[in-house]
Amino acid sequence: MSAPDFSVSGQHVLISGGAGGIGTALAKAFRGAGANVTLCDVKPPTVDEGFDFEYLDVRDTAAVEALAAKVKKLDVLIHCAGKLVRHEEHKPDVFMDIVNIHLGGNLRLATAFRPQLAATRGCLINIGSMYSYFGASRIPAYASAKTAIIGLTRSLAVAYAEDGIRVNAIAPGWIRTEISRGGREDSVFNDAVMQRLPTKRWSEPEELAGTAVFLASPAAKLINGVTIPVDGGYVAS
């Protein structure tokens, strides 16, 4: 048997929330593996790493459709845009806004870019969370949306199979980025996480990159509709 093909060289990759910690790390990994990467976000990258950048608010359907009209070729779409608001998400307006970013944004991007992904028989990579698996008293919208990402991933995988598009998700563990800063700085919360976490440390965004590149590669052609925890064993413990 010949060696499995992990190559993503020459693929075109679009990452929403691409100016964030995980989006940037994935962008660097795909570029390092020979792919062409475009980032989109509501804010430009803090450090200019030379990626193409498009302003995009994933809550704006018209803007998502306008971007899709500009992108001619796409092999990989990664929905990395995300936000949480501790202690505020029991308010209905805040709840709906957070769900809109994570879940509505995912559906919006998937729908708009389906034709390009169908043309390349490409793939969609969604981003779940440890909160895909359990509740969060202070961020119920975030946890609800992340739980629903598992269902949306399965549903789109089934729906898009006829186009040869695969849809999977990564559920990151505890990653050192801006969105998790509040949790890291809350010593009671931080201690509880570290006690359960087998690796006993916050992880770096780069540690997710291998799984994302693998999911986009020919070696993963039979993987569809799954959410993979990349969490140092947190869900298992």
Ligand X SMILES: NC(=O)c1ccc[n+]([C@@H]2O[C@H](COP(=O)([O-])OP(=O)(O)OC[C@H]3O[C@@H](n4cnc5c(N)ncnc54)[C@H](O)[C@@H]3O)[C@@H](O)[C@H]2O)c1
Chain residues in the site for ligand X (CB under 6 A): 16-17, 19-23, 41-43, 56-59, 80-83, 101, 127, 129, 172, 174-175, 177-180
N- to C-terminal Cα separation, the chain: 36
131 counts as catalytic: no
Identity of the residue, 122 or 172, whose beta carbon is nearer to ligand X in the bound complex: 172
Catalytic residue among 55, 133, 142, 234: 142
Work out how close the CB of 4 gets to ligand X at its nearest, in angstroms, rounded to a whole number. Answer: 27
Order of strands, edge to edge, in the sheet holding 36-41? Answer: 52-55, 36-41, 12-16, 76-79, 123-127, 166-172, 227-230
Identity of the residue, 142 or 160, whose beta carbon is nearer to ligand X in the bound complex: 142
Beta carbons within 8 Å of 67's beta carbon, 6+ residues apart: 40, 54, 56, 112
Work out how close the CB of 96 gets to ligand X at its nearest, in angstroms, rounded to a whole number. Answer: 13
Contact 89, 67 (CB under 8 A): no
Identity of the residue, 19 or 165, whose beta carbon is nearer to ligand X in the bound complex: 19
Which residues, in sequence order, are bridge partners of residue 228?
A: 170
Work out how close the CB of 209 gets to ligand X at its nearest, in angstroms, rounded to a whole number. Answer: 12
Identity of the residue, 129 or 153, whose beta carbon is nearer to ligand X in the bound complex: 129
Work out how close the CB of 44 gets to ligand X at its nearest, in angstroms, rounded to a whole number. Answer: 9
Known catalytic residues are: 142
